[in-house]
Amino acid sequence: MDKAPQRQIKGTRLKRRSESLSAIALTLTLFIASPVSGQAILEGERFHPAVATQGMVSTSHTLATDVALQVLKEGGNAIDAAVTAGFALAVTQPRSGNIGGGGFMLIAKGDHSAPEAIDFREKAPAAANETMFQDDNGDVVQNRSRFTHLAAGVPGTVAGLAMALERHGTLSLKQALAPAIKLARDGFTVPQRFTDGLEQARPRLERWPATRSTFYKRDGSAYQPGETFRQPKLANTLQRIAEKGVDGFYQGKTADLIVKEMERHGGLITKADLSAYEPVVRSPVHGTYRGYDIYSMSPPSSGGTHIVQILNILEGFPIRESGHNTADTIHWMAEAMKLAYADRSQYLGDTDYVEVPLAGLTSKSYAETLRKDISSEQARPASDIGPGQPAAYESPETTHFSVVDKWGNAVSNTYTINFSYGSGITVEGAGFLLNNEMDDFSAKPGVPNAYGLIGGEANKVEPGKRMLSSMSPTIMKKQGKNFLVTGSPGGSRIITTTLQVILNVIDHDMNIQTAVSAPRVHHQWLPDELRIEQGISGDTIRLLEDRGHTVVTNSAMGAIQSIMVGEDGTLYGGADPRRSTSSAKGY
Ligand code: DON
C-alpha cells in the first residue's frame, strides 16, 4: 500500500483504524513469507483450485471444458481450445452458449505482444431505428425488445470465433466444430441444471413451436437428468459452417432460415444484414492496479472502462488493510461502483457511432477527483430521479470461459444471447436460439433495460450499431506476463463481479478458487441499493446501513470462470460454484 493515496481518505476515525491495520499487516508480512497473491495452495484453505502445468480450461460446462482440454492435450493452442469450447457450449448449454448471439474475446499471447480484443457483438439490423421499442405515445413497450423477433440483433458469434481461429489458431474451423457437431448429433447426458432451466423458462419458451420441438420431448415434458438430449437440426447447421466456413451461417441455407423466421414474425434481420456482419479487432482498455496491468473489453462494452475506473478509485483506499468484505471495504467499493455506473449511463455507447471519453474515464487523475468526494462515513444517495426495480424475468445467463496453454497464450471469452435462452425464439429448421440483445440498447433515453441499467443518447438504437454491453473478458499481466484470466456473466453485475475477483487476488491474497467463490456485493447507482450475496455478516450489514446504504440480499451474482498463472508458470483454475456445471481442469 503506498502512502499517498491514504491521504485522500477523509475522517480521522477511519485514518486511525487504517493506520493500525497497516501496522498489523506489516508485522504479519515480516513473519509470513507472503505467497504472491494466493499462489501457495495451503492444506488449511477451504477452497482449492485445479492445478496443472501444461494447460488449463475453465468453463461453465464440464463437457465444454473436456473438449477444450483435449484440444490442448493434442497440441492445439489456447485459441483453438477456446473456439472449440465456444461451439461446444452452443450445444451443451443452449441457455447462453450460442451461435445466435455475440460476445467478446480477449487474447493475450505468450509472446508478450499487445493483447487484442475481437468484438463479435450483435448489431442492430439496417431497418432498426431509435423509436422501434416505443408506442405511438413514445412509451416503451418493454416486451418488444425482449421477447419478439425485433429483439434479435444480427448474430456475431460464428464470425467472431472463426476470426479468432483464423488470426491466432492452428485448427481449421471444421476441426474446432467437430466436437460440437458430435455432441449435437449423438447427444449428451442431461445434467440437473439443464432440466431446471427448461422448466423455469417453460412459459416463455413453449410459445414458439420450433423452440418447443427442439428443447422439449414430443409430450411437452423436459428431458430429465441422466437422459440423452440430441439436436439433429443444430448438428446440420454446425455442419454447414464446418463445410462452408462463415458463409455456412451468413449465406445459404442458414441465412435463408433466419430470414424466413424474421419474415414470418415481423423481424428485421435481412440477408443483407447477415452478409454484411463483420467482427472487429479492437484494442482492449488498459489500466493499472497496484503495479499490475489490466486489459479488458473496450466499447461497445462498458466493462473494461468501468473496471479500470473503479480500480483507479479504489487504489487510493487501504483495501488490503481493511480486509475482505468488511463494512469499510464494501462501503468504498459501493461508492466507487455508483460513480462508475452513473458515468456509464451517460457516456457509454458504440464508439463507431458516438464519442466516448475513454481516456478521461480511465485516467488516474479523474479517479482521484471522484475519490475526493467519497466520504468514508456516509453513503451518497443516488439521484432520486430514476427508474424503479429491474424488470423481473427468469434467471439471466451469459457464459464466460478462460483458457491458458503451455506457451502462455491466454484467452478470455464472454458471449451471450442476453437472457437465459435469449428471446426464446428458435430459428425453425436451424435448431438454435436467437438473442434478445436489442434490449441492451436504451429503448428510450433514461428508461432502464432488463438489468435496471439506464442508457442515454449514446446508446440509442441506430442501424448497424452495436448495443452497449457490460461483458468484461479481462486479462491481467504482471511484469508483462499473463497473470489472471477472468470474466463473468451476470448482466449489470458482470463489471462488479470481475472487479471483486481482481481485488480478492491482488488485495486479499486469495487463491483463485477462494477468490471466485467468496461472497460478492454489487451497486449500480440506480436502483439505489447495495446488493449482497449470502455470507456477509449481520453486523457488517448493520454498519453499512448506519452509513446510509439500503442493503438487499440477492441470489448468486455472476459465474466467473478464471485462471491464475503462478510465477513459476503453474496454472490454477477456479470455476464458479454458482453454476453447478462449472468446471476447471488442466493437465
Ligand atoms: O451484454 C450484456 O451486458 C448483457 N447482454 C449480458 C447478459 C448477461 O450477462 C446475462 N447473464 N447472466
pLDDT in tens, 61-86: 999 999 999 999 999 999 999 999 99
Kindly state if the Cβ of 491 falls inside 6 Å of ligand 1. Answer: yes
Segment holding 215, helix H or strand E = helix 209-215
Domains and CATH numbers, the chain: 3-281+398-459 (no CATH), 285-394+470-572 (1.10.246.130)
Ramachandran class of 36: left when φ > 0, alpha when ψ lies in -120 to 50, beta otherwise: beta
Rounded to the nearest angstrom, the gap between the alpha carbon of residue 211 and the centroid of all alpha carbons in its chain is 25
Q: Among the atoms of ligand 1, which is closest to the Cα of residue 303?
A: 3
> What integer best gives the mean pLDDT of the chain?
91
Q: Whose CA is nearest to atom 11 of ligand 1?
A: 397
pLDDT at 42: 65
Q: What is the C-alpha to C-alpha distance for residues 473 and 295, in angstroms, rounded to an integer? A: 9
SS3 percent helix, strand, coil of the chain, rounded to 5, is: 40, 15, 45
Angstrom distances, CA of residue 486 to CA of 152, 249, 426, 499, 512: 27, 29, 30, 10, 10
Average pLDDT over residues 402-427: 98
Q: Which residue in 305, 398, 426, 486 is the catalytic one?
A: 398
Q: What is the C-alpha to C-alpha distance for residues 394 and 400, in angstroms, rounded to an integer? A: 19
Mutating to test ligand 1, I would choose from 393, 419, 451, 498 the residue with most ligand atoms within 8 A of its C-beta, which is 451
Cα 23 to middle of ligand 1, angstroms? 42
Q: What is the C-alpha to C-alpha distance for residues 248 and 100, in angstroms, rounded to an integer? A: 13
Q: What is the C-alpha to C-alpha distance for residues 348 and 301, in angstroms, rounded to an integer? A: 8
Q: Whose CA is nearest to atom 5 of ligand 1?
A: 418
Q: Whose CA is nearest to atom 10 of ligand 1?
A: 397
Kindly state if the Cβ of 156 falls inside 6 Å of ligand 1. Answer: no
Q: Among the atoms of ligand 1, which is closest to the Cα of residue 121?
A: 1
- Asked if the model's pLDDT at residue 39 lies above 70, the reply is no
pLDDT at 385: 27
Q: Whose CA is nearest to atom 8 of ligand 1?
A: 491
Kindly state if the Cβ of 416 falls inside 6 Å of ligand 1. Answer: yes
For 115-130, what is each residue's pLDDT tens digit?
Answer: 999 999 999 999 999 9
Write the burial class of residue 271 (CB in 10 Å: 0-12 exposed, 13-18 middle, 19+ buried): middle
Kindly state if the Cβ of 267 falls inside 6 Å of ligand 1. Answer: no
Task: Report whether 159 contacts 277 (CB < 8 A).
Answer: yes
pLDDT at 395: 63
Angstrom distances, CA of residue 286 to CA of 275, 476, 479, 563, 564: 32, 10, 14, 19, 19
Helix-helix angle 303-314:327-347, to 10 degrees: 140
What cell numbers appear for 486 in the block? 477472468
pLDDT at 23: 41
Average pLDDT over residues 511-539: 96
Mutating to test ligand 1, I would choose from 394, 471, 495, 582 the residue with most ligand atoms within 8 A of its C-beta, which is 471
Cα 345 to middle of ligand 1, angstroms? 16
SS3 of residue 213 by DSSP: helix
Q: Among the atoms of ligand 1, which is closest to the Cα of residue 440?
A: 5
Cα 565 to middle of ligand 1, angstroms? 27
Helix segments in 52-126, DSSP class H: 62-73, 78-92
For 362-397, what is each residue's pLDDT tens digit?
Answer: 999 999 999 998 999 999 998 632 322 223 334 678
Catalytic residue status for 131: no
Angstrom distances, CA of residue 127 to CA of 144, 523, 525: 15, 36, 33
What cell numbers appear for 143 in the block? 416486451
Q: Which of 30-44, 132-146, 329-343, 396-410 has the lowest mean pLDDT?
A: 30-44
pLDDT at 320: 97
530 confidence band (pLDDT: 50, 70, 90): very high
Cα 505 to middle of ligand 1, angstroms? 24
Q: What is the C-alpha to C-alpha distance for residues 205 and 203, in angstroms, rounded to an integer? A: 6
Q: Whose CA is nearest to atom 1 of ligand 1?
A: 469
Enter the pTM of the model: 0.92
Looking at this protein, which amino acid is placed at residue 487?
Answer: G
For 289-326, what is each residue's pLDDT tens digit?
Answer: 999 999 999 999 999 999 999 999 999 999 999 999 99
Backbone φ, ψ for residue 216 (5° rounding) = -120, 165
Closest to 572 measured CA to CA, from 111, 29, 37, 117: 37
What contacts 272, CB < 8 A, 6 or more positions away? Answer: 126
For 244-288, what is each residue's pLDDT tens digit?
Answer: 999 999 999 999 999 999 999 999 999 999 999 999 999 999 999
Kindly state if the Cβ of 449 falls inside 6 Å of ligand 1. Answer: no
Cα 520 to middle of ligand 1, angstroms? 17
Kindly state if the Cβ of 122 falls inside 6 Å of ligand 1. Answer: no
